[in-house]
Structure 1
Amino acid sequence: MQRFFVPSELVAGDEGLLPEDVGHHLSRVLRLSPGEELLLFDGEGAACRARLLAIGPRGAEVRVLERWRETEHGLPIHLIQSLPKVDKLELVLQKGTELGITVFSPVLSERCVSQPTDTRQSKRHQRWTKIVREAARQCRRPLLPRLNDIRSLAVALDSCTEPLRLMLWEEESRPLAEVLPPKPPSAVALLVGPEGGFSLREAELARSAGFLPVRLGPRILRSETAGFAVASILQYLYGDLGAPAA
C-alpha cells in the first residue's frame, strides 16, 4: 500500500484533498485509480488508512477509513553536521533519515567550504525538507526527522540536551567503544566536522559543552560518511537496527 506524508488536518478529518504534489504522483507516476487505498501520515505520529475517491480538476480526493497512532523504537540521534558541500549534505539527509536519525542540525564551523547566504539558505532548506520527507516515505518511517535551520556551531552546542554527546575528532580521541555505556542512553548527540575537520578552538568549545571526542579507527572517514558509520553502530547496539520483524 502506498504511503504519503500529508498535513495533519487531512489525517484528522473524514474527507479531503491530497496536497498537489501527492495527487500528481498518484495520477501521473503511480497511475492509481479511484477505490484504491493509501496510508497517510502527518509525520508526528498520526496515521490513517484512506480510500481514493476521485482524481479530477480539484485534485485527488480521499476518505479516511481508519486512524491510529504510530511510534518509532530506534535510538533518538541528533546529528550536528558541519555544512559540507551542498550535494554532500543532501546525501547526509537522505541516508541519515534511513538510519533513524531524528534531528538534523546543519552548522557553520570555521573550515566549512560552503557558506550560503540567507536567500540561498531558505531555498536550500525547502529542498532539504523535501529530501527528508521522501527518504522517510521510501524507508517507511512513520515520523519525520526534524530539520533545523543552519546555525553557528556555538549556538547548536549550547542548545544540545542529549545526555550522551559524541564528537568525531581524529586528534586526542579515545576509541568509540571506550565511551559507549553498557545501558542504552535515552538519546545521543553526534557532532561531525567539515571536510577540513574541527579546529582546536572548536574542539575545546565542544568539550566544554559536554561532548566526548572519539575516533572510529585508523582510517579517516569523509565528513558525509562518518555520521552514517556511527549512527549505524548506535542503532545496532541500542536501537532497532537488526531487530526482529514485528
Structure 2
Amino acid sequence: MRPHRAFSPGLTGVLPLRETRHLVEVLRARVGDRFTVFDGEREALAEVVDLGPPLRYRVLEERRPEREVGVEVVLYVALLKGDKLAEVVRAATELGATRIQPLVTRHSVPKEMGEGKLRRLRAVALEAAKQSGRVVVPEVLPPIPLKAVPQVAQGLVAHVGATARVREVLDPEKPLALAVGPEGGFAEEEVALLEARGFTPVSLGRRILRAETAALALLALCTAGEGR
C-alpha cells in the first residue's frame, strides 16, 4: 500500500467506515501495512491488524509534526456562487486556516447554505488536511450575517480602496482573522463595520481579483508568505 493518511477520531485503533473503504477497496491495504492516522490534534504511525470492516490498527509511534501555523487563523469569507466556496475551503486548509466562517453580506448572491453543502465543505476540508499533511482539520461553520462577526485582536480585510500592505501591518505572532467579500466586494458600510471590530483594510495589488482568488491571496500572504 502506498503511503496514506487516515482520519481516526481519538486514535482509538478503529477506522471510520469511509476511511476503511478507501484503504481496503482503493489502496488494497493488507494486514501488516503501515500508514498514518491523525485526529485533529495528534498524529501517529499505525499498522493494520484487521481489515474489518471496520479496519483495526495499532499505534506504533505517536508524532507531533510542526506543520501548523502556530496561531489561530480564522477566514471569514462571503458566500460565493456555484462551487467556488469549495475551492476556497480546499486551498485555505492547505494554507493553514484553523476555522472557516462563511458570511452573508449585502452583495452575496447566495443568502443561505443547505446542510448538504455544509457537509460537503467539511468533507473537502478533511480531504485537504489529509493531502497537505496537517494534523488540524479546519472547522467549517454555518453562515452568519456580517454583523455577527465578533471583535478581533488582529484582523485584515481585503479591500480595493486600501493602501496598506499586508507585510506592513501583520504581526505573525498574534491570532489572526481575515475577511474577504463576495463578487463585487464588501459595501463601504460593511468595511466600516469590520474596521470597528478590529480589522485593517489591506490591498492585494493593483488588479481586480475574483473573490475566491482574493481569499487565497490574502491567506497565502499571511501564512505561506511568512514561511508558516
SS at match of 2:87: helix
Q: Which amino acid aligns with 1:60?
A: L
1:237 CA displacement: 4.4
Paired residues, number: 225
Amino acid at match of 1:34: V
Which position in structure 1 is the counterpart of 2:203?
A: 215
Q: Is 1:201 the equivalent of 2:196?
A: no
- Classify 1:111/1:34 alpha carbon distance in 2 versus 1 (closer, same or farther; 3 Å): same
Residue deviations 1:161-204 (CA, integer Å, cap 9, x gap): 3x221111112x123157424x5331221110000211122111
1:191 aligns with 2:176: no
**Which residue of 1 is the match for residue 165 of structure 2?**
176
Q: Which runs of 5+ in 1 are unaligned?
A: 241-246
What's the offset of the Cα at 1:239? 4.2
**Number of the residue aligned with 1:26:** 23
TM-score (norm 2): 0.90
Matched residue, 1:226: 214
Fraction of identical pairs, as percent: 32
Is residue 37–residue 51 contact of structure 1 (8 Å, CA) maintained in 2?
yes
Change (3 A) 1:226 1:220: same
- Mark the CA change 1:92 to 1:178 in structure 2 (over 3 Å): closer, same or farther: closer
Aligned pair in 2 of structure 1 residues 216, 68: CA closer, same or farther (>3 Å)? closer
Matches of 1:217 and 1:98, distance apart in 2 = 23
Change (3 A) 1:178 1:69: closer
Provide TM-score, normalisation by structure 1: 0.84
How far apart, CA to CA, are the structure 1 residues paired with 2:133 and 2:209?
28
- Whole-angstrom CA distance in 2 between matches of 1:26 and 1:236: 31
- The residue number in structure 1 matching 2:58 is 63
Contact 1:72 1:143 survives alignment (8 Å): no
RMSD: 1.9
Per-residue displacement from partner, 1:26-61 (whole Å, max 9, x unpaired)? 111111111101211111x222222111224x3212
Aligned to 1:135: 128
Q: Which residue of 1 aligns with 2:116?
A: 123
Question: Match for 1:144 among 129, 137, 147?
Answer: 137
What corresponds to 1:2 in structure 2?
Answer: 4
**Where does structure 1 differ by over 6 angstroms across 4 or more consecutive aligned residues?**
none
Question: Alignment partner of 2:108: what SS?
Answer: coil
Which consecutive residues of structure 2, in runs of 5 or more, have no partner in the other structure? none
Q: Is the 8 A contact 1:50 1:66 kept in 2?
A: yes
Q: Give the match for residue 157 of structure 2.
A: 167
